[in-house]
Structures are given as C-alpha cells and as structure tokens.
Amino acid sequence: MITASDNFYLQKEEPVRSCLLALSEIILKQDQDIAAAWKYGMPFFYYKGKMFCYLWVHKKLHQPYIGIVEGKRLDHPDLITEKRSRMKIMLFNAAEDLPLTTIETVLQQALALYKTGIVQSVK
C-alpha cells in the first residue's frame, strides 16, 4: 500500500525525487530517536515526539530543502529565514552532490537544542 509520504516522493521528478529521498535517509541516520511522519501534507521528522524538521520543495526556486523547526535558534550561513519567524531552511541543488558534512552539522546543532532541553514541549 502506498502511503501519503510515499506518494509525495513518487510525484516528484528526478533529480528532485532522489535528492529528497537521500535527505530523508540523512535525517533519519542522525539519531535513533528521529522518526518520520506525515504532517501538514509533507514529510515531517520528529525527535522524541517533538517537531524537528521537514522536507519540501521551494515554490519559486524549485529546489528541495530541509526546514528546521527551531531554525531561529541556529546561526549557520547555509540557513535561510526568508519570511519565516521560527523556521529556517537549507536549500539544495538537486543536480549536485549533497553537502553531507554541512547537512549533518546543521542537523546535529538542531538536535543539540532538543537534547539540552532548550526546546521544551513543542508539538
């Protein structure tokens, strides 16, 4: 049975589909307590039941990105605020290799907010 999450990926054209699937794997590998879910019509990832990040494709730029829920608490040159007050995004060119070290650094910085208790009950 195809889930809504599966359908999200299947509807994307290459190379965006492969990029999003790779990003999903990278996110899930960061910690055993990260779980994938379907929320707000998009692939969402939770850390111990708290909203952590999500995947989406930028409407104007047509580039896949990771949205970091507590992005406002992070200071990293690859994170973009745009018109968001809480979240920041990290855009990717689907035709290029993913910057794995940068992605892992940002995700680990975000995870640290949850592990140190800076992020409380955010649902």
Sign of the dihedral defined by the CA atoms of residues 45, 39, 119, 91, in that order: positive
Q: Is residue 120 part of a domain?
A: no
| pLDDT at res. 2 | 82
Structural domain of 52: 4-115
Which DSSP string corresponds to 62-123? --EEEEETTGGG---TT-B-TT-SS-EEEE--TTS---HHHHHHHHHHHHHHHHTTSS-S--
Query: What is the tally of structural domains in the chain?
Result: 1
Instruction: Check which CATH number belongs to the domain holding 64 and give it.
Output: 3.90.1150.200
Write down the mean pLDDT value for the chain. 94
pLDDT by residue (tens digit) across 10-48?
Answer: 999 999 999 999 999 999 999 999 999 999 999 999 999
Q: Which residue has the tokens 């990029």?
A: 19
Examine residue 76 and state whether it is found in any structural domain, yes or no: yes
